[in-house]
Chains A and B, each alone.
Chain A
Amino acid sequence: MAANNNSAENILKNVTGSNQPTEPEREPERQNVAGRQVARPQRRGGRGRTLGRLIKMLFSFYPRMLPLVILCIVVSAVLSALPATFMQRTLEIVTAHWEGGDWEAVAGQIGSLVLTLVGIYVVSLVLSFTWTRAMAIITQGSLEKFRERLFGHMQDLPISYFDEHQRGDIMSHYTNDIDALRQMIGQSLPNITLTFVTLISVFSVMIYYSVWMAAVIVAGVLFMSYMTKVLGSRSARNFVAQQKEIGVVEGHVEEVMNGQRVVKVFCHEDAAQDDFDVLNRRLFEASRAANMYTNTLGPILMNLGNLIYVIVALVGGVFIETGVPNLSISGLPFSIAVTVPFLNMTKQFAGQIGQISQQINSVVMGLAGAERIFELMDEPVEQDQGYVELVACTIDREGNVTECDRRSENWAGQWAWRHPHGDGSLTYTPLAGDVRLFDVDFAYRKGHTVLHDVSVWAKPGQKVAFVGATGAGKTTITNLINRFYDIEDGKIRYDGININKIKKSDLRRSLGVVLQDVNLFTGSVMDNIRFGRLDATDEECMAAARLVGADGFIKRLPDGYNTMLTDNGSNLSQGQRQLLSIARCAVADPPVMILDEATSSIDTHTEAIVQRGMDALMTGRTTFVIAHRLSTVQNSDAIIVLDHGRIIERGSHDELIAKKGTYYQLYTGAFELE
């Protein structure tokens, strides 16, 4: 047996290893609530492509505004190189006249120079005002579009995606990844563009004056870039490590908090603290290393800039002294008027490098975020080749089906499947709720068959109950009926039509589902009931609540039907939440229902109320019940006992009791159900 003291290590193992796909059958309990993100290794070549795709998308969002912004940025960057030339000319004039001490003689010349400069500045101000504001609009607008596409695409993904990905991981697309994008689009991309163009234009001005001195600066700047790269990549690596350690600490705190009662009754506070200390120290080390590199980068760059400045001054001085011939586009000789603007350009240049170093981290993180977002957007959506549709209809006494408008006066709430055939003809089948599975095999992953030869028939109005241990395949069968998953072999027919031919949305509309884990949505009680059928009137919603026995408690809530529910209805009890989910199903009024009973223990009285609600709902509908307690299945038309994906017994309660098989043993408490 392993020693007790390495549980911190175990926590670590557990968190870092949490990316494996989980088995769908028990997914609901397994989900990881923490919004933690485990950094994935970056694919090298993908980054450029990601950037390209991102930029392309930005252009498609703002095809006019974005080019305008870029134009503004480029022009301001070019303009920003010009003041140096003004300075050089001013100094030229000044050095030529200063011994005379006659201001009047030069005032006109300098005055007009300064006026031109003011003009340039005004243009530059207008440009920067324009592009920064425009960029705010573009950034937020693009983020919103990213969010919408992300969310929209997520809605269309197949259930298998949600089974295979941790909830926290998916959520981090909305939080971490979008935030990283915000930083990159809003700050880094425009700044890098600006810096890049500024560097080019300043460099042009430099070689206009002196190639030699430009070479000195470029050498210095290359060294600075090298330092940036070295320190920057270390700090980036450590920030990733820090993120990971935060995730670990979070996982530990969460676990201890959830089990706080156990910690207390076992006086395990000290042990929990020791584990925490180990993890906390690791986070500290990572965080310290990350900040160390970032913090030293600033002063190093700044003072390297100062050093280059000094070197440029020295080189300039030495050149002037020794009379080295200048090499330049302008053809000017070395002079103090050339050297001084150079010094200022050195500052500008070095400052720009500092800028880039700040932005590089966020670009790396932004691109990683973009890549993860694109990954989700590229996930294939749920496929649907169905062409049989559910349509409102009237059915006359001879059984002839006529399609009609739902808003028409004579529609009596009847539905039919409209089935177009290859020869162009249409047939109509009235919606009845007859569901049959024939020899169905199914595997979540190829080669791991979890259902074998399952055949089930449910005639309209019948109740079929599935009984069996966790993992026996009860939930899986219902996931096949509403086509959350597609079968491997065999066939499933709904009213005699192969369900693969039915449009998924219409198939699901004809199936009501009450899941064991109740999910309510932020909104009023009424909104939550209406979720079942969006065009239901208030009266219809209330009628549904009355039908299932939820009306009583709703009326006693502070605002009745208008009471706001938040946080998955946390202000309601378990039983109340179940009743609401039953009412939601009732308002949808589907001919076929799938009921996954709640496993959590509720007391007998509440259970009776919930059961009454369920019974009311089941009347007159074909129902598949996933039973966790046997008390509710006795009146089923058929009970199907599953074991490891196979049907081992089937029959009515009486038949199965008489048979004295597995069901009998379960029923008498000799076997555990869960």
Chain B
Amino acid sequence: MSLLPKKPVMDQEFVKTAAHVNYATVGRKLTESVREYKTAAVVTPLLVLGEVVFEVMIPLYTADLIDAIKSGANLSQILSTGGVLALMALVSLAFGAAAGLTCAKASTGFAKNLRKDMFYNIQTFSFAVIDRFSSSSLVTRITTDVMNVQMAYMMLIRTAIRSPFMLVLAFIAAYSMAGWLALVFVVIIPVLAVALFAVIRKVVPVFRRIFRKYDALNERAEENLAGIRVVKSYVREDYEKEKYDRAATEVQNDFTYAERILALNAPIMNFCIYTVMVFVIYAGSFAIVSTRGELLDVGQFSSLITYGFMMLMQLMMLSMIFAQVVMSEENARRIYEVLDAKTTIDQPADPVTEVADGSIDFDGVGFSYRGDRDHEALRGIDLHIRSGEVIGVIGSTGSAKSTLVQLIPRLYDVTEGSVRVGGRDVRDYDLETLRDAVAMVLQKNVLFSGTIAENLRWGNEHATDEEVLEAARLAQADEFVQTFPNKYDTYIEQGGTNVSGGQKQRLCIARALLKRPKILILDDSTSAVDTKTDRLIREGFRNYLPETTKVIIAQRTSSVEDADRIVVMDSGTINDIGTHEELLRRNAIYREVYLSQNKQSHDERELGELEVSADE
């Protein structure tokens, strides 16, 4: 029973994905984060338009300049046309550079707001929601996914405006300049467009699939790295190499397939450019000669080629943007899921902001992580704890001890029945009020990077140094902290890896004590502390926090022996409640746990007696 996984493996249905949500909804949700960068986002396309207009006009005027030179205009005429041209290039440059700046601001600002909104929203999540995303997936969503969306957004507000606009303007300019000759573009542009988009359409889904495989390949390397001691102990280096090589070759084949298709882009593009060149040279000379320069002159001849390049290049850009944007769609959806997720723990409309006392009542409580009654982790819990009482909780892994106490500070909401604190349903309280009154030392102890003092002050930001010291003393932490060279300013590494397990637990208890809570919950939080210290901590509680209700979950019966009452949990239900003596007498589960832990000391006692008798 207890060997079964603690939390149910989430099925597909339960993890709600946004795959079915349409583009518009995703787009709308994401653009809500544009906010103060809206101006920059609107100005950018306008500036781009300015840039394009001047850029397209330049070849028109160069054609004139060339014709003027050809027809033997005087120097001042040439210089003035040249001056106009130079001015246009400078204006275009100014527009373009300005667009570059606003675009950078708009897109990185958007990304900043996205990250902020995601992080803030995550902070409001209830655990039911957090469990749905894994925490590592949330990290990638905030970093990688946002970066990709930022790239796509940048392209959208700049290049995606620039390219079609330029395409149209360049064509108009070419037509106004060269008449029917420009019609070559009407033929060649669709050809290129179709070819490029055909390639992209074929390649994008392939790439998507490959990237997934590629991730799997990297995970394989990571797994090997994590287990390198196992690999080396079993001399499996060659086996692992072989396995990795096989997977790598598969990824290589897929990648090569996709990139070979993608490589078609270059010859396709070249083919179109060449066609335009050949056509312009042949038909252009025909037009010049046959109309004696009426329809077309040498200057226009050259500019026509310039326009041709312009248009074809823009098509190329468009196809690239298309690919990029399509590829980032998945990123956008993953961001949307985070932004759209709502906490399942709602603040009540008219919240109670005062917790009367530390009494706790469970009335007919049922709870399921999935929210349905078929998979209940807790069933029919009725438990009434008086304010100031000391309650021990004992039970094997999977008996839902932690689940039970997590309902008290509303980390989860009950599926059935109700939990009351201080006589009021926990759902009536302002969340912060409730959680300030309930201090919980978790089974998964976490300290944060920062000094010891900073970590302890999580319990109370405004605690004086004396209060911090007192809490540490109560938790039996002061003694070892004083042995550190920097004492309370000792820096805790991320994850608290530079203190031992027992020390970490005691610091976490001190942190909780600083809250001066009405209810203190210890979820198996002295497992690595020696029995003597464990006893001292409990004595401290008794003497200094007599009014605080204490709920102590433990593996060791010695940690709960002196509790007022002990609750025995068994697979989601309360098996028995009573004092240590009562339970020892009547409860099989409790007795078994007690005996398995105390057999040794029993043996030892016998041993001691033996020695005594030998002395006699």
Contacts and interface: CB of A to CB of B under 8 A. Distances in A.
Q: Do A and B bind each other?
A: yes
Given A259-B446, A604-B596, 12 more contacts: A87-B281, A90-B285, A94-B288, A106-B289, A255-B494, A291-B107, A295-B101, A302-B96, A306-B92, A313-B69, A522-B219, A670-B532
Minimum-distance CB pairs A-B, first 4 = A299-B96, A519-B227, A295-B100, A669-B531
Contacts of A253: 119, 138-139, 142-143
Contact of B143 (A106, A148, A249): A249
A295 B101 CA distance: 7
A313 B89 CA distance: 14
B178 interface: no
Contact of A299 (B100, B493, B497): B100
Interface string B224-237: 11111111111111
Contacts of B103: 291, 295
B266 A521 contact: no
Interface in B76-134: 78-79, 82, 85-86, 88-90, 92-93, 95-97, 99-101, 103-105, 107-109, 111-112, 115-116, 119-120, 122-124, 127, 130
Contact of A292 (B104, B256, B260, B461): B104
B593 to A, nearest CB: 6
A538 interface: no
A671 interface: yes
Interface string B1-23: 01111100100000000000000
A330 interface: no
A340 B281 contact: no
Interface string A496-528: 000000001100110111010001111000000
A251 B286 CA distance: 68
16 contacts: A1-B465, A7-B450, A26-B497, A98-B288, A255-B449, A262-B448, A273-B119, A287-B108, A291-B108, A509-B234, A519-B227, A521-B223, A599-B501, A669-B531, A669-B532, A672-B529
Interface stretch (A123-131, A195-203, A357-365): A123-131
B340 interface: no
B117 to A, nearest CB: 11
Contacts of B69: 313, 316-317, 320-321, 336, 339
Interface in A102-148: 102-103, 106-107, 110-111, 113-114, 117-118, 121, 124-125, 128-129, 132-133, 135-137, 139-141, 143-144, 147-148
Nearest to A673: B530
Contact of B100 (A154, A296, A567, A572): A296
Find the residue from B55, B58, B92, B446 having the highest chain A CB count within 10 A. Answer: B446
Contacts of A469: 500
A222 interface: no
A425 interface: no
Contact of A288 (B51, B79, B104, B248): B104
B220 A276 contact: no
Contacts of B228: 159, 162
A299 B92 contact: yes
Interface string B320-355: 000000000000000000000000000000000000
Interface residues of A, number: 182
B75 interface: yes
Contact of B62 (A259, A310, A575): A310
A284 B113 CA distance: 9
Given A162-B228, A246-B147, A344-B305, A280 B70 contact: no
B298 A336 contact: yes
B436 to A, nearest CB: 6
Nearest to A102: B289
B311 interface: no
B459 A266 contact: yes
A369 interface: no
Interface string B383-410: 0000000000000110000000000010
A7 B224 CA distance: 34
Interface stretch (A51-59, A166-174, A453-461, A619-627): A166-174
A284 B78 contact: no
B55 A302 contact: yes
Nearest to B528: A674
Given A4-B457, A674-B501, A604 B555 contact: yes
Contacts of A484: 229, 232
Contact of A314 (B5, B79, B221, B292): B79
Contacts of B97: 296, 299-300
Contact of B135 (A86, A254, A316): A254
A281 to B, nearest CB: 7
A303 B89 contact: yes
A255 B86 contact: no
B31 interface: no
Contacts of A272: 123
Contacts of A553: 3-4
A307 interface: yes
A148 B70 contact: no
Interface stretch (B179-187, B270-278, B539-547): B270-278
A443 B281 CA distance: 79
Contacts of A294: 100, 104
A344 B224 CA distance: 56
B395 to A, nearest CB: 8
Contacts of A609: 3
Nearest to B558: A669
A489 interface: no
A94 B289 contact: yes
A479 to B, nearest CB: 9
Interface string A244-258: 001001110111011
Contacts of A215: none
A250 to B, nearest CB: 5
Interface stretch (B191-199, B373-381, B437-445): B437-445
- Among A100, A155, A251, the one with the most B-chain Cβ atoms within 10 Å of its Cβ is A155
A114 B436 contact: no
Interface in B483-537: 488-489, 491, 493-495, 497, 500-502, 511, 515, 524, 527-533
Nearest to A534: B239
Contact of B259 (A103, A140, A321, A482): A140
A44 interface: no
A311 B119 CA distance: 53
Contacts of A144: 248-249, 251-252
A266 to B, nearest CB: 5
Nearest to A137: B256
A162 B225 CA distance: 8
Q: Which of A110, A291, A484 has the most CB of B within 10 A?
A: A291
B597 interface: yes
B34 interface: no
Contact of B51 (A137, A299, A336): A299
A588 interface: yes
A55 to B, nearest CB: 20
A513 B229 contact: yes
B494 A251 contact: yes
Contact of B9 (A1, A186, A343, A571): A571
A283 interface: yes
Contacts of B270: 121, 124-125, 128
B451 interface: yes
A652 interface: no
B223 A568 contact: yes
